[in-house]
């Protein structure tokens, strides 16, 4: 089933499937305590995670190419901060027991501001974490209510400052823009709060109404309007202008960093076509052109781990054409751009048209999106792939 290490970056993603409440816009593989009942708990999840890590390390150790050091770790969810600082430190300790972390490894955890504290961040630093990503979404209370977020508007900024005080050099705040009812003034207030927090990384995502979510049902019933594409484009331009003026530079269409060292190396590993192990319920992995994904429900995941072997629900070997498609889709979104040499003859012709239309430039034989091109990144990709 497995491929082999491709010689690029290697990271580990850990999926924590627990949330205190379910946000109305979220379609991630997450569960509240009420939804799980007695079928699974953080304790049973952690025991299963340790089993999966041990099994994966043994399987990887039998591959033809030597397993590289782990350059990045990213704990996401869900709400990893519900594990507490001690729980997250135990997760990282389990990774260290089975894999070799690089001396300069980037180790990130996502956190909900409401489940953090000064001691939480101190414990993360003691445990070996180097980076924190906080879900802020908005500084406007009515926007947070539409999103079903539980934290108060000022808590994310306070949490970011607590993380910096605990010694975290790299702190990210996530924003969501285009929520029904959000105004330009609301967005400006959110950006003011982000910049006042002194973080060195910002992620900003347009609201997407995912099928099957509570938000989608509200939009379908006419209770809320669907996000407007023109409004989303104007909001993106507003965000980019403010962050750029403050010294944060875009390095991926939805991400800005104060320096090269502030960019999220783990996510760059995905975008640059690296390999990674995804551990936990529903997590996806990639190794040498082979992708597999775990069973989703925490109880079934724990049961599969207990039976031995990797808890995969399915896998696929990507064809050369599929790998090319993914390469184009991801590289185009990066500030470093897509090497024109990676395109076939029709693709290079399409690139020339994209450049002529002002959506990209030819920077040292790499196609790099212009400001306008970033707004139309998906359309550019479609053109390049024909």
> pLDDT per position in the chain (386 positions), as tens?
677 887 789 999 999 999 988 888 888 899 988 888 888 999 999 999 999 999 999 999 999 888 899 999 999 999 999 999 999 999 999 999 999 999 999 999 999 999 999 999 999 999 999 999 999 999 999 999 999 887 788 999 999 999 999 999 999 999 999 999 999 999 999 999 999 999 999 999 999 999 999 999 999 999 999 999 999 999 999 999 999 999 999 999 999 999 999 999 999 999 999 999 999 999 999 999 999 999 999 999 999 999 998 999 999 999 999 999 999 999 999 999 999 999 999 999 999 999 999 999 999 999 999 999 999 999 999 999 98
One domain, residues 162 and 92: yes
Does 292 map to a domain? no
Give me the domain span that covers residue 379: 321-385
Residues 246 and 344 in one domain: no
Q: What is the pLDDT of residue 1?
A: 60
Could you tell me if 110 and 195 lie in one domain? yes
Residue where the block lists tokens 């593989």: 29
Question: Do 371 and 234 share a structural domain?
Answer: no
Q: What is the pTM of this model?
A: 0.95
What pLDDT score was predicted for residue 153? Answer: 80
CA–CA gap between residue 295 and residue 283 (Å, rounded): 8
283 lies in some domain: no
Q: Are residues 71 and 164 in the same domain?
A: yes
Residues 249 and 338 placed together within one structural domain of the fold: no
Last residue of a domain, one of 240, 256, 272: 272
Alpha helices in the chain (DSSP H): 33-36, 42-61, 84-98, 118-127, 141-146, 155-165, 184-197, 214-220, 229-245, 265-271, 298-306, 320-331, 345-356, 371-375, 377-385
List helix spans (H) across 171-319: 184-197, 214-220, 229-245, 265-271, 298-306
Judgement on whether residues 183 and 330 belong to the same structural domain of the protein: no
Report the domain count for the chain.
2
In a domain, 255, yes or no: yes
Residue 1 lies in a domain: no
Give the model's pLDDT for residue 34: 86
Domain end call among 272, 295, 330: 272
Assign residue 149 the CATH number of its domain: 3.20.20.70
pLDDT at 3: 78
Last residue within a domain, chosen from 211, 242, 272 = 272
Residue 134 included in any domain = yes
State the pLDDT at residue 24.
84
Q: What is the pLDDT of residue 276?
A: 97
Report residue 191 as tokens.
């950006």
Residues 329 and 253 in one domain: no
Instruction: Catalogue the long-range contacts made by 186-190 (C-beta closer than 8 Å, 24 or more residues apart).
Output: 186/138, 186/139, 186/140, 186/142, 186/143, 187/235, 187/238, 187/239, 188/238, 188/242, 189/139, 189/140, 190/136, 190/138, 190/139, 190/140
- pLDDT score recorded for residue 179: 95
Characterize the bridge pairing of strands 201-206 and 170-177: parallel
Q: Are residues 353 and 244 in the same domain?
A: no
Do residue 125 and residue 186 come from a single domain?
A: yes
**b/e sequence 295-323, b meaning 16+ C-beta within 10 Å:** bebbbbbbebbeeeebbeeeeeebeeeee
Identify whether 284 is part of a domain: no
What's the confidence (pLDDT) of residue 350?
Answer: 97
Q: Mark whether 260 and 377 lie in a shared domain.
A: no
Contact 175, 205 (CB under 8 A): yes
Looking at residue 375, what is its pLDDT? Answer: 97
Is residue 294 in a domain?
Answer: no
Same domain? For 145 and 66 the reply is yes
Residue 122 within any structural domain of the chain: yes
């Amino acid at each position: 089933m497995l491929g082999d290490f491709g010689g690029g970056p290697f990271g580990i993603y850990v999926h924590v499937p627990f949330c205190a409440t379910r946000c109305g816009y979220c379609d991630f593989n997450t569960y509240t305590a009420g939804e799980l009942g007695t079928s699974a708990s953080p304790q049973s999840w952690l025991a299963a995670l340790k089993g999966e890590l041990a099994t994966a390390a043994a399987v990887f150790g039998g591959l033809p190419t030597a397993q590289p050091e782990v350059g990045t770790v990213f704990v996401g969810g869900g709400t990893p901060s519900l594990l507490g600082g001690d729980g997250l430190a135990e997760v990282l300790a389990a990774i260290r027991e089975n894999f070799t972390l690089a001396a300069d490894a980037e180790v990130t955890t996502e956190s909900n501001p409401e489940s953090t504290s000064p001691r939480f961040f101190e414990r993360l630093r003691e445990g070996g974490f180097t980076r924190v990503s906080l879900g802020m979404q908005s500084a406007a209370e009515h926007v947070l209510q539409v999103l079903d977020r539980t934290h108060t508007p000022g808590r994310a900024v306070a949490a970011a400052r607590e993380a910096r005080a605990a010694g975290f050099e790299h702190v990210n705040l996530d924003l969501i823009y285009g929520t029904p009812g959000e105004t330009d003034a609301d967005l400006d207030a959110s950006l003011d709060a982000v910049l006042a927090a002194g973080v060195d990384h910002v992620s900003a995502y347009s609201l997407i109404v995912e099928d099957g979510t509570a938000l989608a049902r509200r939009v379908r019933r006419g209770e809320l309007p669907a996000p407007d594409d023109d409004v989303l484009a104007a909001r993106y331009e507003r965000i980019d202008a403010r962050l750029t003026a403050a010294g944060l530079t875009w390095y991926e269409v939805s991400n800005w960093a104060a320096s090269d060292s502030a960019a999220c190396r783990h996510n760059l590993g995905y975008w640059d076509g690296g390999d990674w192990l995804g551990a936990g319920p529903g997590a996806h992995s990639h190794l040498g052109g082979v992708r597999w994904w775990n069973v989703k429900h925490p109880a079934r995941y724990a049961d599969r781990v207990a039976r031995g072997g990797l808890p995969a629900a399915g896998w696929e070997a990507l064809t050369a054409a599929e790998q090319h498609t993914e390469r184009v889709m991801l590289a185009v979104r990066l500030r470093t751009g897509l090497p024109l040499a990676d395109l076939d003859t029709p693709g290079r012709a399409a690139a020339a048209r994209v450049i002529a239309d002002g959506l990209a430039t030819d920077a040292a034989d790499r196609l790099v999106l212009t400001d306008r091109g970033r707004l139309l990144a998906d359309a550019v990709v479609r053109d390049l792939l024909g």
